[in-house]
Structure 1
């Protein structure tokens, strides 16, 4: 007798994972952490320990002038503190007591017809583990009634610069806000710094996002065939992470670049929509990461679409892999991220010199910033609720201005509980190579006939997500990295995310 369809599907599942329970205690911990930071700040500045942290959640957006609602994703700072998945909420924390208050939108009866049951306030109190829940039209009354002073209540509102995007956070707005005193300067730097250091519960969600994304990357490798379109690889990834990981959101727009497209750093955008048919001999560069309960992953795998590395592909790939491994093995608290970027550049330049593409002294190449010609982006960035998580530059920090270094998303020293990507790359980009090969300062380093052989090659990037520990770091990403591993997996060989991974705490490779 044939097995039921469900049993057959389960038996043939390509995933060993199942979505974990979402612990709302995570957001209680985050709120407590913020209030601790805020109280310490107020004590040091001799200010009273009173007022309310007030954040406005995200609003559902329609597509232009239509009634088509885009898939909602909560604003990240609000998600950090409250974990609310619904739009149009507000959240407050009483600085004096630590009590948390949610304000839910008051929905019309029509909501129940089109969008389902209207939940009572008690549902949100229990689900999101907050002290109290009211409606958004009660914000003024509730906060005035709860304030522990006869003075005008003080609101700490979120307003500050995101040093990755150069955009400002939007402070909360509501009818009657003029009845409060407002502080627009204190909250943003404190809350951003809270997000830089991850709790165990946060790390567990980031690890799951890495695990399911690692599995998905392996599935993509196994299904890649010459003659496919790039978007078919994107589709395979998205299907796996949603089907087996419950990841409805991707951390960012997938980059599925093959051939010369792999030298386009942010390929996959609307004008380049992952639609090329790839050819025998192409390299693929796939930068894709799933998001689970707001927490993301960011993983890049590079491999030959036909499953076998050529000598030239090995040269470039291993240059990048050596840079990746050199950085990972050096990471620990107190290490400068600027130094790690330079280490990656030096490793790649040395490999290209050994491969005959460059000549001369690598130290001289570094003085002329030749590394930025092959790796124009920064080595990595903080990761968490956003792909480019905030906090990379503290107030007053000086940004490097040199080529390559100016693209760094952080210049900080590493500290325990940071999560940061390590993503060195080596690309053959005409817009950078041609001027460098013509410049009197850098032309002497190139072997033109060898460099020209790589015209149209594209590029290689290898990206893993690392959490910094007390003594080193742990690689949260679990994909094949050695050329032999990749070729074996693409030929149908086994791979388990439970394999040991490179980790500077335990001394190196599996």
Structure 2
């Protein structure tokens, strides 16, 4: 049986995973009233991308929909799926003999067929001839809006495609919905990459202490994920914020490259996830730099943890994700009230939108081949909520068994949001100012787990210390 595997101690991903994804997609298209017989799906894989105008390329990552259907490592490929029969044809570039000198063995078409368990392999320059002989009534290409990035996927093309009837809109919502519910084989890959990422987070927690730099924690994570887990890629740029940087939601970008010093008394918020065979993990751990929580850190951390625990208790098939966001916020605000930072009725705080000051992002997102996975806001699903404190939710669906989501409540002290709250009489009436001001340079806390929704509950794939006591015990075991 063909498979993807980085090494003898890493997870073996069977090519049957992608074969089943193709069959699932073909079946969904056959059930769609607008798809004719003799229809074919045409997908383009990713291409090598040059670094500016040089002859060096960025490290290649496969296009996600193509990965979902074919699991192919190489760039420059195309894939065709015959909807009626489910037959698959992989098209690979016709490379010159000289390729073998610089890049390694030139595989024969039969070798690609065995490697990826497809029905047929041909060369890319044969696409036109393939379709001319197939006489399709419809070619389905992929074009649709990614509601997280705001970008539109580019439909596949080949020379001569204009001779055929092509639809570039119908496929997107169908294949995106197929990706929402994970297969048993996909779940095992996701379980593996979450375990690798969890172990790497623990390694980072035991390594960090005052005097380190944020990027050192990033380096420890990436080393473990690759050297131990075989994860050549991270799923996104690592976020390694300490002190006030831990309140920057997407810290770690080019202008703030995890370059801050870690100081005694800081909270660290490290959001990092490895990627294996295209599948993502996305885990956040928050912990005190010196390994011991002070009372203010305990207050904020335990408020976030209580919100997370409430969601994990209630999340299951049939539950509204919007309700889960509201639940997390309600529990967190109650804990902040119990700690003396807030006053008044929690329901009134929610109505006024106070939760959005402390947690300006949504509770979490779908996750799979993309860290912010597809299927959030597509045709036939609930639209984005209009209330400002709910508008950042990346999806607003009813949960289904087989969905894989992040649960990531947070509490942050972002100065311009603090100033906005204090200046707004609809919000400042709930705030105990002298306590609130004490946290102006605190930073933030986020707890993020990767969670599989089941019929009767959920399963958390992030296996990391979460309580104050567990974190302190883990960090007491220092490793260089």
TM above 0.5: yes
Aligned positions of 1:28-39 closer than 5 A: 28-39=19-30
2:235 and 2:383 map into 1 onto residues whose CA distance is: 29
CA distance in 2, matches of 1:50, 1:471: 41
2:74 alignment partner, one of 81, 86, 110:
86
Q: Could you tell me how far 1:153 is from its partner in structure 2?
A: 4.2
Cα distance in 1 between the residues matched to 2:108 and 2:334 = 64
User: 2:14 aligned with 1:26, yes or no?
Assistant: no
Given that 1:301 and 1:462 are in contact with CA atoms closer than 8 Å, whether structure 2 keeps it comes out as yes
2-structure distance, mates of 1:340, 1:433: 25
Runs of 4+ in 1 over 6 A off after TM superposition: none
Question: What's the counterpart of residue 237 of structure 1?
Answer: 221
Structure 1 residue aligned with 2:298:
314
Counterpart of 1:57? 45
Write the distance in 1 (CA, Å) between the matches of 2:238 and 2:90. 34
1:156-214 CA distance string (max 9 Å, x none): 00011111112111100111111211011211000000000000000000000000000
**Deviation (angstroms), 1:113:** 1.4
- How much does 1:394 deviate? 3.0
Cα shift at 1:96: 2.1
Name the SS for the 2:459 alignment partner: strand
Shift of 1:21: 1.1
* Equivalent residue for 1:440, pick from 425, 432, 435: 425
- Say which of 410, 420, 425 aligns to 1:425: 410
1:223 equivalent among 199, 204, 207: 207
1:282 paired residue among 246, 266, 273: 266
Aligned match of 2:5: none
Q: Is the 8 A contact 1:158 1:187 kept in 2?
A: yes
| Cα shift at 1:493 | 8.6
Partner of 2:250: 266
Please state whether the residue corresponding to 1:357 is helix, strand or coil.
Answer: coil
1:255 to 233, 239, 245: 239
1:95 to 69, 83, 93: 83
How does 1:63-74 map onto structure 2 within 5 Å?
63-74=51-62
Determine helix, strand or coil for the equivalent of 1:109.
coil
User: SS in structure 2 opposite 1:404?
Assistant: coil
Would you say the 8 A contact 1:143–1:153 is kept in 2? Answer: no
Moved more, 171-180 or 421-430: 171-180
CA contact (8 A) 2:311 2:327 kept: yes
Structure 2 partner of 1:114? 102
Tell me, yes or no, if structure 1 residue 348 matches structure 2 residue 332. yes
Matched, 1:133 2:121: yes
**Cα distance in structure 2, aligned partners of 1:366 and 1:280:** 34
C-alpha distance in 1, partners of 2:36/2:67? 27
In structure 1, what is the Cα distance between the partners aligned to 2:263 and 2:236? 26
Q: Relative to 1, partners in 2 of residues 1:20 and 1:398: Cα closer, same or farther, differing over 3 Å?
A: closer
Spell out the pairing of 1:410-489 with structure 2 (5 A cutoff). Answer: 410-489=395-474
Q: CA offsets per residue over residues 405-428 of structure 1, 9 Å max, x none?
A: 100000000000000000000000
- 1:256-307 per-position Cα deviation (integer Å, ceiling 9, x unaligned): 0000000000000000000111100000000000011000100000000100
How much does 1:457 deviate? 0.4
Match of 1:211 in 2: 195
Q: Is the 8 A contact 1:282 1:304 kept in 2?
A: yes
- Residue 353 of structure 2 corresponds to 369
The residue aligned with 1:497 is none
How big is the alpha-carbon RMSD for the aligned residues of Structure 1 and Structure 2?
Answer: 1.3
Q: Please list every run of 5 or more consecutive structure 1 residues that lacks an aligned counterpart in the other structure.
A: 1-16, 495-510
Residue 499 of structure 1 corresponds to which residue in structure 2?
none
* 2:477 aligned residue: 492
2: CA distance, partners of 1:221 / 1:493: 8
- TM-score, normalization by structure 2: 0.96
Higher mean displacement: 231-240 or 101-110: 101-110
Equivalent residues, number: 471
Contact 1:255 1:288 in 2 (8 A): yes
Structure 2 distance, partners of 1:450, 1:286, is 26
Structure 1 residue 90, shift from structure 2 partner: 0.2
In structure 1, C-alpha distance between the alignment counterparts of 2:383 and 2:127, rounded to whole Å: 40
Q: Distance in 1 between matches of 2:311 and 2:411?
A: 15
**What SS class does the counterpart of residue 358 from structure 1 fall into?**
coil
